A and B are shown apart, each in its own frame.
Chain A
Amino acid sequence: MSEPILKIDNLRTSFRIKDDYYPAVDGVSLTVNKNELLAIVGESGCGKSALAFSIMNLHSRAKIEGNIDFKGQNIANLPTSKLNKLRGKDMGMIFQDPLTALNPLMIIGEQIGEILLIHGTNSAEKRKERVLELLNKVGIPRPEHVFNQFPHELSGGMRQRVVIAMAIANNPELLIADEPTTSLDVTIQSQILDLIKELKEESGAGVILITHDLGVVAEMADRVAVMYAGQIVEIADVYTLFENPLHPYTRSLLNSVPTANEEQSTLHVIQGVVPALQNLPREGCRFGARIPWIADSAHEKNPQLHEVSPGHFVRCTCYKDFHFPDRDKEGNRHVVS
C-alpha cells in the first residue's frame, strides 16, 4: 500500500560541547512514505531542525550515527561528492528564512537555473524555459520579469515561493520543509502551505514538514511525530493525534495553544524549562521533571515507544497515569477549597 521513501533507523546526531559529544537527536526512527506529509512538531531545542539537517547532512561538525535509508541506500555519512548527486535532485529542502537562503547577488533566474545546471540541464535555453515554468508553478506573477530580479526586490512571500521553486526544480522524491512559514504573515502563510500541499499531491513526493505550530499541523499533516528533548515521544496519524493525544507532552502542548475557536480563561503552562543539551537527563523519562505531580513509579526506567493502537506509538508508560494538575484522571476539574 504505502511505499517508504525514507527510513531512518536509530539516528543519533551529536554536537561537540567542550570535549564531549551530546546527542541533540537521540535515537530517532521513522519512515516517510510516498505521497505522505509527515509533520515533526516540538518546541525550540527539541531537535527537530537538527533532525532535518541530519537527513540532508548539512551539519558541518556533528557526529551522525545510525541509518538513513533513502531509496535503498544508506545516506548517513555519505561523502559529499555522492551526496551532492542527491541533494537538490532527489531530495529538496525549503529553508525557514528565504532571505538568508537566497544569494543576494544573483538574479532569481540564475539561482534556480544553477540547480538545473548542476544536475545536468546543460542547454541554457532549456534551463530558462524550465525556470519560467517553475516560477509559474509556484504562483509568481509575471515570471519573465521576476527572472531578472534580485531577491531584495521581492516580498517575503514571493521569496519563499522562489525557495520552493528551487527545492522542487528537479522533481525531488523527498521534500524537507523546515519551518517554511514562520517568518511570514498569516495570509501569506496559508497561501504557501496550500502551495506545498498542492505540489505534494501533484508529484507524489514524500514531505517532511518541521514546525512548532500545531494549527499548521492540523491543516497539513497526514502523520505527526512529536519530539521532546531529542526523542520522538508520540507518533500517530493526524486524526488520532488531535482526537486522542496520549503523551503528557502532546496533551500539554495542545492545551497551551490559545485557539481562535475556544474560550478558556487561562492556558495550560508546562512547568519548568527544557534542560540544556549538556544537562539533559539521559536516563528515565525526559519529560518526567516537568510533570512532578505524577508519581515516579508511573514512569519506565528506560522509556520505550509502545504501540497502543496500529500506527500510534507513545513513549514511556506515564501517559496511563497522567492528568493535568487541576483535573483528575477522568478530566474533571478539582474544586480547590
Chain B
Amino acid sequence: MSYLEVKDLKVHFPVKGGLFGRTLAHIKAVDGVNFSIEKGKTYGLVGESGSGKTTTGRAIIGLNKITSGQVFFEGQDITNLNKANKDIRRDIQMIFQDPYSSLNPKKRVIDIISEPLRNYEKLTKGEETKRVQELLELVGLNPESILKYPHEFSGGQRQRIGIARAIALKPKLIIADEPVSALDVSVQAQVLNFMKEIQKELGLTYLFISHDLGVIKHMCDQIGIMYKGRYVESGTKEDIFNHPQHIYTKRLVAAIPDMNPRNRQQHLQFRQEVKNEYEQAYNQYFDDEGLAFQLQPVSDTHLVALPEKG
C-alpha cells in the first residue's frame, strides 16, 4: 500500500461568461492524473507553467476543489478533506513558493508559526513560546527573533519560517510548491540541504513541485512529468534523466544548460536534433487537442504516454 495515492485526479475550472455568467466551458487544469508516493521518499512533479503541477498539489491538500478522482493517504480516502477526519489535515502541510507573499506582513513570527498549533493543540502561552523557539532553532534561526516581523528577514530566512510553520504539527507529508524558485542559488542550496536534513530527522515524505530539473534531480527519487494537465512520463530518477522516452521529456532534459563550456557546441547540436525530432513527431505523440495519450508501462517503474497503436 502506498503512502499517498492519487487516482484519476481531475480538476476542471469553469469558464464563466455571457449575460448571466453561465458556465461556457471548462479548463482542464488537471486531467486524469495517477501517481503514488512511498513513505519517506521524495516525489518530484515537473512541468512548465500551466502544466497543472501546482493545481495537483493544491488539490491534494484541499486548496482546489477536486472535480473527480480520489486521493488516499495512509489508506484513508481524503478526497473531500472537509468531510474527512480533521486530524488528517495536520498530517499534510504545504510550503509555498514565494516567501514574500506567503507570510502575513502584519504578524510577528511567533503568531505565524503558532497558528497551526493554536488550531490543533491547546497550549498555554508559555508552552507555545517554547515550541516556537524550538522550531526556530530547528530551522536554524535565532530563537530570540520570535517578536520580529517577516520584513526583517532575508528571503532564505523567510522560507525557513514557512518551513517552520509547515513542520510545527509534525506532519507526515509535505507538499512543497516551488520552494526555492524565488531564491538565489546560495540561499537555494541552504533550503534544499535543510529540507533533506529534516526529512531524515522527522521521517518526512515530500511531494516536490518544481520546473527546475537540476533541483528535481538533486532532491527526488521518483519523478512525474506533466504537460497540459496530463502525465507524459513517470519513473525513477534514472528512468527520466538517463532514458527519457517521450519527446516532451527528451526536450526538457535537453534544455538543461550544461555546466561545462567545452560541451557547448555539442550540446547545441543535440538540442537542435531533439527539437527537430519533437517537431516531426509532435502529431504522433499528442492527440488532436495537443494532449498526451494514456500512460503505458515500458518497465516496472517507468510509464510513458506512448502513441496509441493502430
Residues of chain A touching chain B, judged by Cβ–Cβ distance below 8 Å, are 43-44, 156, 185-187, 189-190, 194, 212-216, 218-219, 221, 238-239, 242, 252-253, 256-261, 265-270, 273
Asked if B83 is at the interface (CB within 8 A of a chain A CB), the reply is no
- Which chain B residue shows the least CB distance to A215? B257
CB distance from A328 to the nearest CB of B (A): 22
Which stretch from B129-137, B208-216, B283-291 is at the chain A interface?
B208-216
B189 touches A258 (CB 8 A): yes
A214 touches B259 (CB 8 A): yes
Please indicate the chain A residues that have their CB under 8 angstroms from the CB of B241 in the complex: 260
Which stretch from B12-20, B106-114, B166-174, B190-198 is at the chain A interface?
B190-198
Which stretch from B24-32, B57-65, B69-77, B261-269 is at the chain A interface?
B261-269
A218 touches B259 (CB 8 A): yes
Residues of chain B touching chain A, judged by Cβ–Cβ distance below 8 Å, are 48-49, 154, 156, 184-190, 192-193, 196, 211-215, 217-219, 241, 251-262, 264, 267-268, 271
Please indicate the chain B residues that have their CB under 8 angstroms from the CB of A253 in the complex: 185-186
From B186, B215, B267, residue with most partner A Cβ within 10 Å: B186
From B184, B268, B271, residue with most partner A Cβ within 10 Å: B184
B211 touches A257 (CB 8 A): no
CB distance from A178 to the nearest CB of B (A): 16
Please indicate the chain A residues that have their CB under 8 angstroms from the CB of B252 in the complex: 186-187
Q: A185-B49, A256-B185, A257-B259 are in contact. Are A218 and B211 (CB under 8 A)?
A: no
B215 touches A258 (CB 8 A): yes
Please indicate the chain A residues that have their CB under 8 angstroms from the CB of B218 in the complex: 258, 267
Distance A216 CA – B264 CA, assembled complex (angstroms): 11
Please indicate the chain B residues that have their CB under 8 angstroms from the CB of A238 in the complex: 261
CB distance from A275 to the nearest CB of B (A): 11
Q: List 30 A-B contacts (CB under 8 A).
A: A185-B48, A185-B211, A186-B212, A186-B213, A186-B252, A186-B256, A187-B251, A194-B268, A194-B271, A214-B185, A218-B257, A218-B258, A218-B259, A219-B258, A221-B261, A239-B261, A239-B262, A242-B260, A242-B261, A256-B185, A256-B189, A258-B192, A260-B217, A260-B241, A261-B258, A265-B196, A266-B196, A268-B189, A270-B186, A273-B154
What would 19 more interface pairs be, CB under 8 Å, given A190-B257, A213-B257?
A43-B184, A44-B184, A185-B211, A186-B211, A186-B212, A186-B252, A187-B251, A194-B271, A212-B184, A219-B264, A252-B186, A253-B186, A257-B214, A258-B219, A260-B217, A267-B193, A268-B189, A269-B190, A269-B193
Please indicate the chain A residues that have their CB under 8 angstroms from the CB of B214 in the complex: 215, 257-260
Distance A43 CA – B215 CA, assembled complex (angstroms): 18
Q: Across chains A and B, which 4 residue pairs bring their CB atoms closest together, nearest first?
A: A215-B257, A258-B218, A267-B189, A256-B189
CB distance from A44 to the nearest CB of B (A): 6
From B253, B254, B256, B257, residue with most partner A Cβ within 10 Å: B257
- Which chain A residue shows the least CB distance to B218? A258
B256 touches A260 (CB 8 A): yes
Please indicate the chain A residues that have their CB under 8 angstroms from the CB of B184 in the complex: 43-44, 212
Please indicate the chain B residues that have their CB under 8 angstroms from the CB of A185 in the complex: 48-49, 211
CB distance from A124 to the nearest CB of B (A): 36
A259 touches B48 (CB 8 A): no
CB distance from A144 to the nearest CB of B (A): 22
Please indicate the chain B residues that have their CB under 8 angstroms from the CB of A268 in the complex: 189
- Which chain B residue shows the least CB distance to A241? B261
Please indicate the chain A residues that have their CB under 8 angstroms from the CB of B267 in the complex: 219
